[in-house]
Amino acid sequence: MPSHPTLIRFNRILLTGAAGGLGRELRARLKAYCTTVRLSDIADLGEAQPGEELCPARLEDAAAVHALLQDVDTVVHLGGVSTEQPWEPILQANIIGAYNLYEAARNQGVKRIVFASSNHVTGFYRQDEVVGLKDPARPDGLYGLSKAFGEDLSRFYFDRYGIETVCLRIGSSFPEPRNRRMLATWMSYDDLERLVVASLTAPVVGHSIIYGMGDNTTTWWDNTLARHIGYRPQDSSEPFRAKIEAADPLPDMTDPAVIFQGGPFVRTGPFE
């Protein structure tokens, strides 16, 4: 159970990507913090539950996105492509889409966005390195590249227009860690909620970046510079270690997916 007290703080939160894996998880959880949660996706969102509004929209459709942000207090932006894919869908949803979102926020007077970035922004660091929040981006594919773009875009909208953003470089958020890599990158859904809620409710965030990871024993990332956000993970991948290490044969250490933090992303890609 997340540590943040649930208060109805917001009138309306927009949750994009609400039909995706994390979106479905947050859909129910965010309701505790607002009167209405507006849900958007291009996939089927099912029936609206009490306190929900369904607003399907394509992120590359500027007008639709501007409408989406109307009368919204804040946004949790999970929408867009979240895996390595060819350039065109990434361009549309993650680059043009991110631009549309921030332009809409500017026009609609939205003052804070929680932006789902990704650990793949820094996926070309090695697994024997610990990356800090000011280290240069080393994206491991077009997806990571589009998230680096989103981070820089949101930095600009803060410097220029005062719109605050917390960029969450989410690791791997699943019910439990599924492989050796996730021993480092896993974040439980409860921790995901803690992280999103802290990002929404911290009084001042300016433009902040934070890795979305659990209280894992093995980790590649150093969140020291983001402690002002007030996120402290409660769940660890450690209890799953035995099972994972038993199931997962000894990794091939000449495989780039083993050497680099991005894992399989560093060798997949739309081009190969």
| Residues 198-227 close enough to bind a second copy by CB under 8 A | 198, 201-208, 217-220, 222, 224-227
Of 33, 102, 125, 143, which one is the catalytic site residue? 143
Using CB under 8 A as the binding rule, whether residue 64 contacts a second copy is answered as no
46 versus 206: smaller Cβ distance to a second copy: 206
Using CB under 8 A as the binding rule, whether residue 129 contacts a second copy is answered as yes
Using CB under 8 A as the binding rule, whether residue 128 contacts a second copy is answered as yes
By CB under 8 A, the residues from 68 to 97 that bind a second copy are: 87, 91, 95-96
172 versus 208: smaller Cβ distance to a second copy: 208
55 versus 119: smaller Cβ distance to a second copy: 119
The minimum distance between CB 206 and a second copy, in angstroms, equals 4
48 versus 225: smaller Cβ distance to a second copy: 225
CA separation for the pair 41, 14 (Å, rounded)? 11
Q: Which amino acid is at 115?
A: F
Write the DSSP string, the chain. --SS-----EEEEEEESTTSHHHHHHHHHHGGGEEEEEEE-SS---SPPTTEEE----TT-HHHHHHHTTT-SEEEE--S--S---HHHHIIIIIIHHHHHHHHHHHHT--EEEEEEEGGGGTTSBTT--EETTSPP--SSHHHHHHHHHHHHHHHHHHHH--EEEEEEE-EESSS--SHHHHHHEE-HHHHHHHHHHHHH-S--SEEEEEE--S-SS-SEE-GGGGGG-------SGGGHHHHHHHSPPP-TTSHHHHBTTGGGGT--S--
Using CB under 8 A as the binding rule, whether residue 186 contacts a second copy is answered as no
CA separation for the pair 109, 147 (Å, rounded)? 23
Using CB under 8 A as the binding rule, whether residue 231 contacts a second copy is answered as yes
Using CB under 8 A as the binding rule, whether residue 264 contacts a second copy is answered as no
Using CB under 8 A as the binding rule, whether residue 1 contacts a second copy is answered as no
By CB under 8 A, the residues from 3 to 22 that bind a second copy are: 3-5, 7, 9
Using CB under 8 A as the binding rule, whether residue 63 contacts a second copy is answered as no
Using CB under 8 A as the binding rule, whether residue 139 contacts a second copy is answered as yes
Q: Which amino acid is at 102?
A: Y
Using CB under 8 A as the binding rule, whether residue 137 contacts a second copy is answered as yes
54 versus 218: smaller Cβ distance to a second copy: 218
Mark whether 143 is an active-site residue: yes
The minimum distance between CB 21 and a second copy, in angstroms, equals 25
Q: Which amino acid is at 184?
A: A
Q: Which stretch binds a second copy (CB under 8 A): 31-39, 47-55, 170-178, 251-259?
A: 251-259
**Catalytic site positions:** 143
